[in-house]
A = this chain, B = another copy of it.
Amino acid sequence: MTNSTKLNVELLLTGNELMSGDVIDSNSAFIAQELGSLGLEVTRRVTVKDDLVMLSEEISHQSKRADILIINGGLGPTVDDMTAAALAMAANVEIEQHPDAMAHLLDWCQRRNYELNEPNKKQAMLPKGCDVVLNETGSAVGFTMNIHGCQVYTTPGVPSELKHMLTNQILTHIQHKFSIQDTTHVSRFQVFGLGESTIQAIVNEHLSDWPDTIELGYRAAMPNLEIKLTTHHQQAHDEKPTWHKKLTDILGAHVIGEGKISMAKSLIDVLNTQQKKVTFAESCTGGLMSSFVTSESGSSNVFEAGFVTYSNAMKTKLIDVPPATLAEHGAVSEAVVKAMLIGALNKSGADVGVAVSGIAGPNGGSDDKPVGLVWIAWGDTKDVRTAALYLPLGRRYFQQYVATAGLDLIKRHLLEIQPPPQYLDTRKATI
């Protein structure tokens, strides 16, 4: 068995859009994290523009340094895409049509009723002697070959295609090729409503004996925070569940759930268990709560209808908010979100619901009701709760935070969780 931590892994990224700053590179973070799960550490990464000579020189140089080189980008059909040509140049072999790649392209086009055009055919022209790596979600295949004793893998720049290819194909290939046994264990969970510094302070205070052998990492996944626990040897693997539990116990219901789970999925699970249905009456979030829930498969069991009532008139017409309440309190008020919630519950027949009305900005604020103010109501017809939050975060992040908080609050309501989340206190609006 190879000691995987001693393998030298490098990355090469190509793309004018990466060099110009038009695109922020998130692929290399993903690749590093996935390789990390095999105990492999990326030590160096080079990013160059789409230039055949530069690319070929880098491949040549990196393949002489590294045991594994992963190239990302440049597999598309256009003239910008020159990874195959550059790798062939570095390996000093010809480019030729690869039958497996051609078969994939033909199949890809047939399934979609496309005609295979000339630029697409270019995607089947690969360095002689390489092996094709299947792309389940895109037209561009990847490929792998050994040059200068280095195993080179090429991967697509489109993040969703990269993810499939790396996790489903390349990691397994690397594991077999280098006889790697998984020596790094990572567990992660998602948190909403607590910041990194707050959590670090909690750990410092309440878990001051946190072992060095369990690495604690944070990743902002706005509006959530992902927490990662990494261990590198058996004793630490064995101890990890205990510490994982200690930490999630302290963070309580601020923990959305284990793994990569979304707030919407975690709410859907609770609704399914309780065999209940939810509805949403949305003003400032404009459909985002409904959209979050329906972006998860299986949502149709727990969600039948949502109301996007953006204007005052529609709040009255569609979900029976009394005009007098709107006139007296204004659209962004406790009385109005209560009435929206009751109206949406009555119209949809759902068991529970959330209603929000706020000022997303950048316009529409006043001294009384500034941009960032939002009223939220949640619960069922017999038990309606409300809160006002002040979230001056910019329009889009405001909408995401409010929608996620809405899902969180109704989940806590269903589970009868006490105490309330910290953000009801720290983000409370002073009215």
* In the assembled complex, A2 has its CB within 8 A of some CB on chain B: no
Do A291 and B295 have beta carbons less than 8 Å apart? no
- Give the interface residue-count category, chain A: 35 or more
Distance in angstroms from A118 CB to nearest chain B CB is 7
* In the assembled complex, A77 has its CB within 8 A of some CB on chain B: yes
Contact (A228, B318) CB under 8 Å given A288-B287, A295-B399, A310-B305? no
Give complex CA distance A379, B391 in Å.
37
Residue of B nearest to A51 (CB): B43
Q: How many copies does the complex hold?
A: 2
Interface string of A277-301 (1 = CB under 8 A from B): 0001010111111110111011110
Considering only residues 363-402 of chain A, those with a C-beta below 8 Å from chain B are 363-364, 390, 392, 394-397, 399
Contact (A16, B217) CB under 8 Å given A46-B45, A197-B78? yes
Distance in angstroms from A417 CB to nearest chain B CB is 24
Do B309 and A305 have beta carbons less than 8 Å apart? yes
Residue of B nearest to A199 (CB): B78
* In the assembled complex, A120 has its CB within 8 A of some CB on chain B: yes
Contact (A308, B310) CB under 8 Å given A43-B51, A43-B54, A360-B297? no
Measured between beta carbons, the chain B residues less than 8 angstroms from A314 are 304-305, 348
Interface string of A111-145 (1 = CB under 8 A from B): 11110011110000000000000000100000000
Do A22 and B219 have beta carbons less than 8 Å apart? yes
Do B28 and A21 have beta carbons less than 8 Å apart? yes
* In the assembled complex, A192 has its CB within 8 A of some CB on chain B: no
Measured between beta carbons, the chain B residues less than 8 angstroms from A399 are 291, 294-295
Give complex CA distance A311, B279 in Å.
12
Distance in angstroms from A149 CB to nearest chain B CB is 20
Give complex CA distance A157, B196 in Å.
13
Query: 20 more A-B contacts (CB under 8 A) besides A44-B47, A286-B293, A305-B310?
Result: A19-B45, A22-B29, A24-B24, A25-B25, A25-B29, A28-B47, A76-B197, A77-B200, A78-B218, A79-B200, A80-B217, A117-B197, A157-B220, A160-B394, A284-B294, A286-B294, A287-B306, A288-B291, A300-B364, A305-B311
Question: What are 27 A-to-B residue pairs whose CB atoms are below 8 Å?
Answer: A17-B217, A19-B41, A20-B36, A22-B218, A22-B228, A44-B47, A78-B196, A79-B200, A113-B390, A114-B426, A118-B204, A119-B200, A119-B204, A120-B197, A284-B294, A285-B291, A285-B294, A287-B290, A288-B295, A290-B308, A297-B360, A300-B310, A300-B311, A304-B310, A305-B311, A306-B308, A318-B347
